[in-house]
Structure 1
Amino acid sequence: MELHQLQILRELGALGSVTAVAEALRVTPSAVSQQLAALQRGVRTPLTRKQGRTLVLTAAGEVLATAGADAIDAMAAARSALDEFEHDATGPVSVSGFHSVGQALFGPLLRALAASDPSPIVHLTDEDVAQSEFPALTARYDLVLAHRMQHSAPWPVSGIRSLTLVREPLDVAVARSHPLASRDSLSPADVAGENWVTSRIGYSPDDVLRAVAAVANRPVQVHHRINDYGAVAAVVATGDAIGMLPRYTSRSVDDRDIVRLPLEGVNTLRSIDVLARPENLRRRSVRSVTEALQGVMARLSR
C-alpha cells in the first residue's frame, strides 16, 4: 500500500471518474487504473465497483480513502517539518576535527559564526583517528574534518560527500642548532639517515617517511612515535630527533627553537577535507558552517 495509491483512491472518490483523476494528477487513465489494481491486490475487500461506465468507490474504498487522506496529511506535515528543519539557519551542527585542525580552526570558526546573524549552534568534538576511519565518523557528526595524503586512496563516494578546504604541505622540522637548519630545502637523501619523531602507524606523516626511505633507498630510524604536533616540536627542539609539521594547521606550535624546511623529491601534500552525509548538506545551518570553515581555512593558509 503506497501513499500515491491512496491519493489516487481519494481523488477517485472526490472527482468521480478515472479520467478526471488522470487529468488532475497529469497522468494517463491507464496509469491510474494500474495503481488502483495494485492497491486492490494488497487488500481482500473490493475498493471499487462499476456504476454504469464509471468506476466508483465501495464503502470499504471510502473508508480507506478517508484513512488515506489522514496519512497524506501526516506525510505533508512531516515534509513541512523537514523543510523547516533544513531551512533553519540556527539549527544545531556537530563538527568533528582531528587534533591539529581543531587547534587551528575551532576558535576562529566560533568567532566567525558569532559574527553572523543568524548563527548556527555548533557542537565541537576532537576525533583523532587513522585516515581510513574518518568516513565512518559521518554517521555520528554532521561535518567531519579529515586529512588525507595526496598519494593515498580517495574517500569513498557512496553515501559521502567531500569538500577540500586546503592542500597542505608537511615540512621537515629541525632544531635551530641542527646542521640542516641553515638549508633552504631538503631532499630525502638529506634526512633519511636522521633520527625521527613521527606519528603512529596509520597516521600522517608516518606514511611520508616510507616514501622518504624508498626514494633515499635506506631505512628511516624512528625513535619516537607521537601524534601531537606540539609534543613533536618539543622533542625536535632538543635536537634528539627531526620531525615533520603541517605548514598551516600547526602554527600554534612554538617555533622559537625549531626551523621548518620544505622537503623536495617526495609528495608531502595532504588534503584537509570536510566529509558529510549528503542529507546533512541539505540543511542551511550545516552549509553555513561549511562556508565558515572555508573562509577560516582560506585566511589561515594565506
Structure 2
Amino acid sequence: MLDVRRLRLLTDLDRLGTIAAVAAVHAYTPSAVSQQLAALEREAGVALLQRTGRRVRFTAAGRVLVRHAAVVLNAMEETTAALAAVASEPTGLVRVGAHPTAVRTVLPAALVALGRDHPGLELSVSELDPIAVPAALRDRRLDVALVQDYDVAPAAADPMLESVALLDERVYLAVAADAPISDLAGTRDTAWILSTPGTLCHEAALRVCRAAGFIPRARHHIDDFDAVLALVAAGQGVALVPELAAAPRPQVSLIDVPTRRRTRIGYRRGAAAHPAVAAVVTALRASAAAFELVQVSVRPPVSSTDIAGRPR
C-alpha cells in the first residue's frame, strides 16, 4: 500500500523541482527525503525517478503517480473535513494568512466575530505577500489564506487548492495633488515608488506600465501602502495603490488605472466543508461586505482625480 506521507513528498518534488527544496519545506535532510522516495518506489513496484548525480527526473510511471497522488491527497483533505463536520462546533487551531492591507481592514472584524461565535477556535494570523500564499497552503503552514492576483498578472490554476471570491478592487495611480499628471502615460519620465521586487504588487506595476509602453523608473521600494501614500504626498514619486489601501490624503490625487486587484479566500482542495474553514470563510465575507457598506456611506462623489477607496 502506498504511504500518503510519501505521496506528499512526491508531489512536492514535482512542484519544487529538487530534493533539497523538498527537504527544506519539511525540515528533513535531503538524505531522509531520498530514503522516503526510495521506499515509495518499493511500495509502487516500479521506478518513479531517474537519478543523474544530484539531479532527479520523473519516469513515465512517476508522472502517472504524481497525477493520481493529487487526487488521493485531495480526497484525504475532504475526508478530514467530513470527519470534523461530525462535531457540533468548530474547534482547534486555524492558521490564517493575509496580505497587510487586509490585516488592517477586513480581518479584524472577522476575528472578533469568530471569537464571539466560535470560542472553540484558536486563530493564528500570519502576514505574508500574496505570492507566497499558495505554497504556504500546500505545505500546510496555513489552513485558510487570502489568495490574490491582478487581471494583468493572473494566478495560475493549482490542482491542490480551491478558493471563493472575496474582493474585486479598482487600482489607482497615486500622484501628488499638484503634479501635472492625468494618466499613466504622463509618468513615463517620473520617479516611481514600487513594492519590493518579487512581490505580486511589484510584478503588477511592471506589467501595467509595460502595457502603457514604458518601464517605470524606481526611486523607492516600499511595501506598506500608508508609507507609499506619504511619500507620494511628499513629492517622492508616483505609485499604484489598490482601492482597499487608498486612504484619503489631501496632498494626493488618485487616477483610475485600467486594471483590477482580485482577492479570494483560498484553502486546500477538499477542505471547504471543514467546519473551521467554513467558519473563517463566512466571517471574512461578512466583514468584507460590512466594510463595503461603511465605505459607501461616507464616500464622496468620484471623479478621475478624487481620493476614494472602497472594496468592491
TM, length-normalised to structure 1: 0.62
Q: Is the 1:85–1:91 contact (alpha carbons within 8 Å) kept by the matching residues of 2?
A: no
Give the structure 2 partner of residue 246 of structure 1. Answer: 242
Q: Per the alignment, in what secondary structure is the counterpart of residue 222 of structure 1?
A: strand
Matches within 5 A, 1:107-256: 107-116=108-117, 120-128=121-129, 131=131, 133-138=132-137, 139-180=140-181, 186-248=182-244, 250-251=245-246, 253=247, 255-256=249-250
**Paired residue for 1:259?**
253
Distance 1:127 1:220, change over 3 A: closer
Distance 1:233 1:119, change over 3 A: farther
Contact 2:194 2:220 in 1 (8 A): yes
Describe the SS at the equivalent of 2:159.
coil
CA offset at residue 86 of structure 1?
A: 5.7
Q: What corresponds to 1:300 in structure 2?
A: 291
For residue 140 of structure 1, report the CA deviation from its aligned partner. Answer: 0.8
SS of corresponding position for 1:207: helix
Equivalent residue, structure 1, for 2:100: 99
Does 1:275 find its partner at 2:266? Answer: yes
Q: CA deviation at 1:276?
A: 0.6
SS at match of 1:89: coil
Given residue 294 of structure 1, which amino acid in structure 2 is its aligned partner? R
Amino acid at match of 1:98: H
Secondary structure of the 1:154 match is coil
Q: Quick one: structure 1 residues 223 and 158, their matched pair in 2 at CA, closer, same or farther if it must change by over 3 Å?
A: same
1: CA distance between counterparts of 2:215 and 2:135?
33
In 2 relative to 1, CA 219–277 (structure 1 residues): closer, same or farther, beyond 3 Å?
Answer: closer
| 1:174/1:241 contact within 8 Å kept | yes
Alpha-carbon distance between aligned partners in 1 of 2:168 and 2:286, rounded to the nearest angstrom: 15
String of CA shifts for 1:49-83, please: whole Å, max 9, x gaps: xxxxxxxxxxxxxxxxxxxxxxxxxxxxx99x934
Aligned amino acid, residue 108 of structure 1: A
Instruction: Specify the alignment match of 1:287 in structure 2.
Output: 278
C-alpha spacing 1:137/1:245, structure 2 compared with 1 (3 Å) = same
**Judging changes above 3 Å, is the alpha-carbon distance between structure 1 residues 160 and 174 closer, same or farther for their aligned structure 2 residues?**
same
Q: SS of the residue aligned with 2:117?
A: coil
Check whether the contact 2:96–2:124 (CA below 8 A) recurs between aligned residues.
Answer: yes
* Superposition pairs of residues 82-93 of structure 1, within 5 angstroms: 82-83=83-84, 87-93=88-94
Distance 1:220 1:271, change over 3 A: same
Give the residue type in structure 2 aligned to 1:291: T
Return the offset for 1:85. 6.6
Q: TM-score, normalised by structure 2?
A: 0.60
Query: One-letter code of the match for 2:289?
Result: A
How far, CA to CA, are the matches of 1:84 and 1:298 in structure 2?
26
Identity %: 23
Cα deviation for residue 241 of structure 1 reads 0.5
The C-alpha deviation readout for 1:189-215, integer Å capped at 9, x for no partner, is 122232110112232432333334334
Where do 5+ consecutive residues of structure 1 fail to align?
A: 2-77, 181-185
The whole-number CA distance in structure 2 between the counterparts of 1:112 and 1:144 is 17
Q: CA deviation at 1:282?
A: 2.7
- Shift of the alpha carbon at 1:127? 1.8
Describe the SS at the equivalent of 2:126. Answer: strand
CA distance in 2, matches of 1:113, 1:224: 38
- Tell me: CA distance 1:146–1:94, structure 2 relative to 1, closer, same or farther (3 Å): same
Whether the 8 Å contact between 1:88 and 1:284 is mirrored in structure 2 is yes
* Structure 1 SS opposite 2:236: coil
1:255 alignment partner AA? R
Q: Which amino acid aligns with 1:216?
A: A
